[in-house]
Chain A
Amino acid sequence: MIESIILWALAIMTAPFFSALILNVKAFFGGKKGPPFLINYYTLIKLFKKGSVYSRSTTFIFKLGPIVSLSTVLTALMFLPIAGHTPIFSFNGDVIFVLYLLGLGRFFTIAAAMDTASPFEGMGAAREAFFPIICEASMFMILILFYRLTNELQFSAYFSDNNPLELWKTAGSPLIFIVMAFFIILLTENSRVPVDDPATHLELTMIHEVMVLDHSGPDLALIELGSFCKLFLYSAFIARLIFPFNLENIYLTGGVFVGALILVYIATGIMESVIARYRMDKVPHFVLTSFALALFAIVITLEFVK
Chain B
Amino acid sequence: MVLHKTGTRSIDALGGLLKKMKLTGTTFIIGSLAICGLPPFNGFVSEFFVYLGGFNGISMNGTPFVISLIAIVSLAIIGGLALACFTKVVGVVFQGEPRSQAAENVNEKGITMLIPMGVLAVFCTVIGIFPEIFIRLALKGVSTLIPGYSQISLVSFVETTGNITRYSAIFIGVLIIIFIIRTLLYQGKEITQSGTWGCGFTQPTAKMQYTGMSYSASILEFFKPFAPLRENHPAIEGRLPEKTHYHSHIDDMAELHLDKITRPIIFLFDKLRWIQHGDIHLYIGYILLAIILLLFFV
Residues of A within 8 A of B (CB): 48, 50-59, 61, 66-68, 70-72, 74-75, 78, 89, 91-94, 96-97, 100-101, 103-104, 106-107, 110-111, 113-123, 125-127, 129-130, 132-134, 136-137, 139-141, 143-144, 147-148, 151, 153, 203, 213-214, 217-219, 222, 280-281, 284, 298, 302
Size of chain B's interface in residues, with CB distance under 8 A?
80
Chain B residues with Cβ below 8 Å from A122 are 91, 96, 209-210, 214-215
In the complex with contacts A92-B160, A125-B215, A136-B77, A74-B83 CB distance below 8 A: no
In the complex with contacts A91-B163, A126-B215, A126-B217, A54-B192 CB distance below 8 A: yes
Q: A301 to nearest B CB, angstroms? A: 11
In the complex with contacts A51-B190, A74-B174, A114-B222 CB distance below 8 A: no
Instruction: Tell yes or no: B206 within 8 A of A by CB.
Output: yes
Chain A residues with Cβ below 8 Å from B202 are none
Chain B residues with Cβ below 8 Å from A118 are 196-198, 204, 209
Best-buried of A50, A101, A134, A140 by chain B (most CB within 10 Å): A140
Chain B residues with Cβ below 8 Å from A148 are 58
Instruction: Tell yes or no: B171 within 8 A of A by CB.
Output: yes
Report the Cα distance A101→B170, complex, angstroms. 12
Question: In the bound complex, do residue B72 and residue A103 qualify as a contact, i.e. CB atoms below 8 Å apart?
Answer: no
Question: In the bound complex, do residue B194 and residue A111 qualify as a contact, i.e. CB atoms below 8 Å apart?
Answer: no
Q: B101 to nearest A CB, angstroms? A: 17
Q: 5 new A-B pairs (CB below 8 Å) besides A50-B189, A120-B199?
A: A51-B189, A61-B18, A123-B214, A126-B210, A126-B214
With both beta carbons as reference points, the residue of chain A lying nearest to B198 in the complex is identified as: A118
Q: Given B44, B47, B65, B79, which contacts A302 in the complex, CB threshold below 8 Å?
A: B65
Report the Cα distance A91→B91, complex, angstroms. 34
Q: Given B88, B160, B174, which contacts A71 in the complex, CB threshold below 8 Å?
A: B174
Q: Given A66, A72, A119, A213, which contacts B171 in the complex, CB threshold below 8 Å?
A: A72
Chain B residues with Cβ below 8 Å from A53 are 191-194
Question: In the bound complex, do residue A57 and residue B167 qualify as a contact, i.e. CB atoms below 8 Å apart?
Answer: no
Q: Which of B1-9, B30-38, B226-234, B287-295 contacts A (4 or more CB under 8 A)?
A: B30-38
Q: B158 to nearest A CB, angstroms? A: 13
Q: Given A70, A106, A123, A214, which contacts B83 in the complex, CB threshold below 8 Å?
A: A106
Question: In the bound complex, do residue A281 and residue B29 qualify as a contact, i.e. CB atoms below 8 Å apart?
Answer: no
Q: Given A78, A89, A123, A147, which contacts B59 in the complex, CB threshold below 8 Å?
A: A147
Report the Cα distance A219→B189, complex, angstroms. 12
Q: Which of B103-111, B140-148, B178-186, B258-266 contacts A (4 or more CB under 8 A)?
A: B178-186
Q: Given B39, B175, B186, B219, which contacts A129 in the complex, CB threshold below 8 Å?
A: B219
Report the Cα distance A305→B190, complex, angstroms. 61
Question: In the bound complex, do residue B48 and residue A93 qualify as a contact, i.e. CB atoms below 8 Å apart?
Answer: yes
Question: In the bound complex, do residue A57 and residue B96 qualify as a contact, i.e. CB atoms below 8 Å apart?
Answer: yes
Q: Given A71, A96, A144, which contacts B58 in the complex, CB threshold below 8 Å?
A: A144
Instruction: Tell yes or no: B221 within 8 A of A by CB.
Output: yes
With both beta carbons as reference points, the residue of chain A lying nearest to B196 in the complex is identified as: A55
Question: In the bound complex, do residue A55 and residue B189 qualify as a contact, i.e. CB atoms below 8 Å apart?
Answer: no
Chain A residues with Cβ below 8 Å from B121 are none
In the complex with contacts A71-B178, A122-B215, A144-B79 CB distance below 8 A: no
Question: In the bound complex, do residue B189 and residue A52 qualify as a contact, i.e. CB atoms below 8 Å apart?
Answer: yes
Q: A147 to nearest B CB, angstroms? A: 5
In the complex with contacts A57-B196, A59-B18, A217-B95 CB distance below 8 A: no
Instruction: Tell yes or no: B63 within 8 A of A by CB.
Output: no
Q: B150 to nearest A CB, angstroms? A: 24
Chain B residues with Cβ below 8 Å from A133 are 77, 80-81, 83-84, 219
Closest 5 interchain pairs by CB?
Answer: A122-B210, A114-B91, A133-B80, A117-B96, A51-B190
Instruction: Tell yes or no: B52 within 8 A of A by CB.
Output: yes
Question: In the bound complex, do residue B51 and residue A93 qualify as a contact, i.e. CB atoms below 8 Å apart?
Answer: yes
Question: In the bound complex, do residue A130 and residue B38 qualify as a contact, i.e. CB atoms below 8 Å apart?
Answer: no
Question: In the bound complex, do residue B39 and residue A130 qualify as a contact, i.e. CB atoms below 8 Å apart?
Answer: no
Chain B residues with Cβ below 8 Å from A51 are 186, 189-192
Report the Cα distance A75→B173, complex, angstroms. 10
Give 17 pairs: A residue, B residue, CB < 8 Å, sorted on A.
Answer: A51-B190, A55-B193, A58-B196, A66-B182, A70-B178, A71-B175, A103-B79, A107-B87, A114-B87, A115-B91, A118-B196, A122-B209, A125-B215, A129-B219, A137-B77, A147-B55, A213-B197
Best-buried of A50, A66, A126, A141 by chain B (most CB within 10 Å): A126
Q: A214 to nearest B CB, angstroms? A: 6
Q: A201 to nearest B CB, angstroms? A: 11
Q: Given B55, B58, B185, B216, which contacts A126 in the complex, CB threshold below 8 Å?
A: B216
Instruction: Tell yes or no: B16 within 8 A of A by CB.
Output: yes
Q: Given A52, A96, A139, A284, which contacts B186 in the complex, CB threshold below 8 Å?
A: A52
With both beta carbons as reference points, the residue of chain A lying nearest to B215 in the complex is identified as: A126
Question: In the bound complex, do residue A130 and residue B218 qualify as a contact, i.e. CB atoms below 8 Å apart?
Answer: yes
Question: In the bound complex, do residue A153 and residue B83 qualify as a contact, i.e. CB atoms below 8 Å apart?
Answer: no
Report the Cα distance A281→B204, complex, angstroms. 27
Question: In the bound complex, do residue B171 and residue A100 qualify as a contact, i.e. CB atoms below 8 Å apart?
Answer: no
Chain B residues with Cβ below 8 Å from A115 are 91, 95-96
Q: A198 to nearest B CB, angstroms? A: 18
Question: In the bound complex, do residue B36 and residue A123 qualify as a contact, i.e. CB atoms below 8 Å apart?
Answer: no
